[in-house]
């Protein structure tokens, strides 16, 4: 076992002499695997139906001779110019009806039969050609699927999807509530994608559209995956997820893959960048039940698409990469190997920067490659977690969508608020769906779980002795987008021992005093039924109304937080809930991250300093795998330093 190290390799931008130099540099840097051909469709199939594999044969041969494995991509995120010209219907259409033009990437309509046919054909041709190639280790399908198309082909596909779901137009009318504003459909042909209209659209229609978009794109992935699996059943298939793409439901998608892969580009200058990156790592590990995942792309330094593309500080590349390893990644890869001189990404950093191998970046890259060699025994080990945060795609898709309660409250922010508190305490976290088995966790957090159906799993979890912390907006609607009769928290009313009589989202900047702090963004008007009140509003029209409550339900306790609390208050509530649940973290200095990985025989204690200043930290006795030295007790970590201690 080993931890893979490498990046996207785009040899179609370079000549053969450069390929030869590349392989030598890859070896020097400790590269073990590269992703080849992500955008190479025009080079592989310059004329429809005529494949040119000679150049790729040579690239794969050079890589194999250099001992480097290949993650071979299907190039279907970059359909060539001939496809746009001959089959303009393969170009996607935006919400406003504007057809996208050729000249960027990812411009395909996922429902286009011709696009799907040509994608499967090139996937099949690649698999046929390289099925027995000794360098082939992994398939990478497309790139960061994020397609959404409002064309007439997509509209017909949407209708077919709806017919399968609802069977009759009457059932669709009922579920969507089309009686409101006279939106009743008499026949399927009248149903269109949610293109813009005068004012608000029907939220159930928007939610079904989201689901359809995810499924239509997934059908593209499956279409290629199946072509690949037919010829290479033993080679795993993945596609690279992107953090903030709401267009696809990562839970459903991960089940269709063999291994999960992430592209992570945290802002090096955001004070919470490395914390929020931790959430993404934990989410990726959780998508397939704790299976090791792959950091498929990251930046060695600056990206090329922010308004200000700042460099990473010296040392930041290492700590950010090892953070992914700490949180379960078995690969650290970058976009891209060699910096492009031309084209849209000419200012994006790379493993070999424009300044060449005699550079700070290449030295840091090489050092990291050799660090990962020393960490080989971590591959395949697991990351323990006592706490689960419910991450629910339907709540994400609906809470942030208009008609909504507050534009200041987004699902991602609500989850991050709780995640950050856990991160600062170095408490291990998994992400789960609301219906997953929760029995392994001491504590489950339910931040803004807006769309909940009746949920026996959560009920049984608390009744059986579990600890639950739910926040406002939870259980407001069901998964058809209808508001629960009786109001929030809908199916959790008994578990939480309360009902929310009204929700009062607060204007930006308004602070409502609470016993020992204040509330912002939102104020639930909570009516306790069996719950005990822990704190109340002390001023304003709802003075005396509960803010935080706790309810004993069976053998467990369910806490409710009906507002966004000021930080110290939020911290106190979480500390108390953790104490009750018996959850303990690893105390550390600010921005020092502590994570454990376990194997059958060993415990690994990883300490990561995310700040550009030295810090002291107390570690258990063991060997630091990165330096090979024994350490125990109080040690000093240099700026951005990392220790990986086999205890
Ligand atoms: C990713 C993409 C790569 C590259 C990178 C730059 O989102 O998959 O192809 O564009 O961004 O940051």
Q: Which two tokens stand for residue 368?
A: 């990291």
- pLDDT (tens digit per residue) in 423-473: 999 999 999 999 999 999 999 999 999 999 999 999 999 999 999 999 999
Span from the CA of 204 to the centroid of ligand 1 (angstroms): 33
Average pLDDT over residues 328-344: 98
Catalytic residue among 144, 257, 364, 596: 144
The pLDDT of residue 1 is above 90: no
Catalytic residue among 297, 364, 593, 596: 297
Span from the CA of 402 to the centroid of ligand 1 (angstroms): 29
Give percent of the chain above pLDDT 70. 100
The pLDDT of residue 213 is above 80: yes
CA distance 72 to 135: 9
Best mutation site among 345, 346, 349 for ligand 1 pocket (most ligand atoms within 8 Å of CB): 345
Residue 112 is predicted with a pLDDT of 98
Span from the CA of 68 to the centroid of ligand 1 (angstroms): 22
Residue nearest to atom 11 of ligand 1 (CA): 335
Residue 263 CB–ligand 1 contact under 6 Å: yes
Element (H, E) at 535: strand 532-536
Residue 636 is predicted with a pLDDT of 97
Residue 436 is predicted with a pLDDT of 97
pLDDT class of 24 with cuts at 50, 70, 90 = very high
Residue 246 is predicted with a pLDDT of 85
The pLDDT of residue 238 is above 80: yes
Question: How many angstroms from the chain centroid is the CA of residue 428?
Answer: 17
Residue 335 CB–ligand 1 contact under 6 Å: yes
Residue 265 CB–ligand 1 contact under 6 Å: yes
Residue 349 CB–ligand 1 contact under 6 Å: no
Strand-pair partners of 609: 592
Query: Burial level of 438, CB count in 10 A (0-12/13-18/19+)?
Result: buried
Span from the CA of 335 to the centroid of ligand 1 (angstroms): 6
Residue 276 is predicted with a pLDDT of 97
pLDDT class of 585 with cuts at 50, 70, 90 = very high
DSSP track, 458-527: HHHHHHTT-EEEEETTTTSB-TTSPBPTT-TTGGGHHHHTEEEEEEEEPPTT--EEETTEEEEEEEEEEE
Atom of ligand 1 nearest to the CA of 39: 9
pLDDT class of 516 with cuts at 50, 70, 90 = confident
Q: Helical H runs in 3-112? A: 16-29, 41-44, 54-65, 81-86
Q: Which two tokens stand for residue 160?
A: 């077919």
CA distance 593 to 606: 8
Residue 244 is predicted with a pLDDT of 74
Q: Which two tokens stand for residue 474?
A: 């939870």
The pLDDT of residue 8 is above 80: yes
Span from the CA of 242 to the centroid of ligand 1 (angstroms): 9
Residue 608 is predicted with a pLDDT of 98
144 is catalytic: yes
Average pLDDT over residues 393-399: 96
Atom of ligand 1 nearest to the CA of 265: 12
For residue 100, give the DSSP letter: P
The region that residue 419 occupies, defined by phi over 0 for left and psi between -120 and 50 for alpha, beta otherwise, is: alpha
Q: How many CB atoms lie within 10 A of CB 199?
A: 8
Residue 476 is predicted with a pLDDT of 98
Q: Which two tokens stand for residue 465?
A: 């002795």
Q: Which residue, among 170, 143, 154, 136, has the nearest Cα to 90 in the 3D structure?
A: 154
pLDDT class of 243 with cuts at 50, 70, 90 = confident
């Amino acid at each position: 076992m080993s931890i893979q190290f490498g990046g996207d390799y785009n040899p179609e931008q370079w000549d053969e002499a450069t390929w030869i130099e590349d392989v030598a540099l890859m070896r020097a840097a400790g590269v073990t695997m590269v992703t080849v051909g992500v955008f190479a469709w025009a080079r592989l199939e310059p004329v429809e139906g005529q494949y040119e594999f000679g150049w790729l044969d040579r690239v794969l041969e050079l890589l194999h001779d250099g001992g480097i494995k290949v993650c071979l991509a299907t190039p279907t995120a970059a359909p060539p110019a001939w496809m746009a010209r001959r089959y303009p219907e393969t170009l996607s259409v935006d919400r406003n009806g504007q057809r996208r033009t050729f000249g960027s990437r990812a411009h395909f309509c996922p429902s286009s039969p011709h696009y799907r046919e040509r994608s499967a054909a090139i996937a099949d041709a690649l698999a046929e050609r390289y099925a027995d190639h000794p360098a082939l280790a992994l398939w990478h399908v497309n790139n960061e699927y994020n397609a959404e198309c409002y064309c007439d082909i997509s509209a017909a596909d949407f209708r077919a999807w709806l017919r399968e779901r609802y069977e009759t137009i009457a059932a669709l009318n009922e579920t969507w509530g089309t009686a409101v504003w006279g939106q009743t459909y008499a026949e399927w042909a009248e149903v269109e994608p949610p293109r813009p209209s005068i004012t608000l659209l029907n939220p159930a229609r928007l939610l079904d559209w989201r689901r359809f978009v995810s499924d239509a794109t997934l059908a593209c992935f499956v279409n290629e995956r199946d072509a690949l699996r037919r010829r290479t059943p033993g080679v795993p298939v993945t596609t690279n997820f992107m953090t903030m793409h709401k267009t696809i439901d990562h839970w459903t998608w991960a089940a269709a893959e063999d291994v999960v892969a992430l592209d992570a580009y945290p802002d090096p200058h955001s004070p919470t960048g490395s914390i929020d990156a931790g959430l993404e790592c934990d989410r990726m590990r959780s998508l397939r039940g704790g299976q090791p995942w792959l950091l498929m792309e990251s930046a060695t330094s600056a990206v090329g698409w922010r308004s200000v593309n700042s460099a990473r500080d010296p040392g930041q590349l290492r700590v950010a990469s090892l953070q992914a390893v700490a949180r379960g990644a078995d690969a650290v890869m970058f976009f891209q190997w060699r910096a492009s001189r031309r084209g849209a990404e000419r200012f994006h950093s790379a493993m070999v920067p424009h300044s060449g191998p005699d550079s700070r970046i290449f030295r840091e890259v090489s050092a990291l490659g050799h660090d990962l060699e020393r960490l080989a025994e971590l591959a395949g080990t697991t990351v323990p977690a006592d706490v689960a945060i419910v991450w629910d795609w339907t709540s994400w898709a609906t809470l942030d969508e208009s008609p909504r309660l507050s534009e200041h409250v987004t699902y991602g922010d609500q989850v991050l608020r709780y995640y950050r508190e856990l991160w600062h305490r170095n408490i291990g976290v998994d992400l789960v769906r609301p219906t997953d088995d929760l029995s392994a966790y001491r504590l489950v957090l339910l931040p803004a779980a807006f769309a909940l159906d009746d949920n026996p799993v959560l009920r049984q979890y608390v009744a059986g002795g579990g600890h639950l912390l739910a926040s406002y907006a939870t259980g407001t609607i069901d998964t058809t987008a209808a508001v629960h009769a009786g109001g929030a928290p809908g199916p959790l009313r008994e578990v939480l021992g309360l009902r929310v009589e009204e929700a009062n989202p607060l204007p930006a900047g308004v602070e409502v005093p609470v016993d020992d702090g204040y509330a912002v963004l939102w104020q639930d008007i909570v009516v306790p039924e069996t719950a005990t009140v822990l704190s109340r509003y002390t001023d304003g029209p709802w003075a005396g109304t509960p803010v935080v409550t706790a309810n004993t339900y069976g053998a467990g306790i369910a806490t409710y937080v009906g507002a966004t609390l000021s930080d110290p208050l939020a911290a106190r509530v979480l500390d108390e809930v953790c104490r009750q649940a018996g959850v303990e973290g690893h105390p550390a200095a600010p921005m020092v991250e502590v994570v454990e990985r376990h194997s059958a025989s060993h415990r690994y204690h990883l300490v990561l300093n995310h700040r550009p200043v030295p810090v002291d930290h107390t570690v258990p006795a063991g060997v630091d795998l990165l330096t090979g030295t024994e350490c125990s007790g109080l040690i000093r970590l240099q700026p951005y330093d990392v220790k990986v201690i086999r205890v």
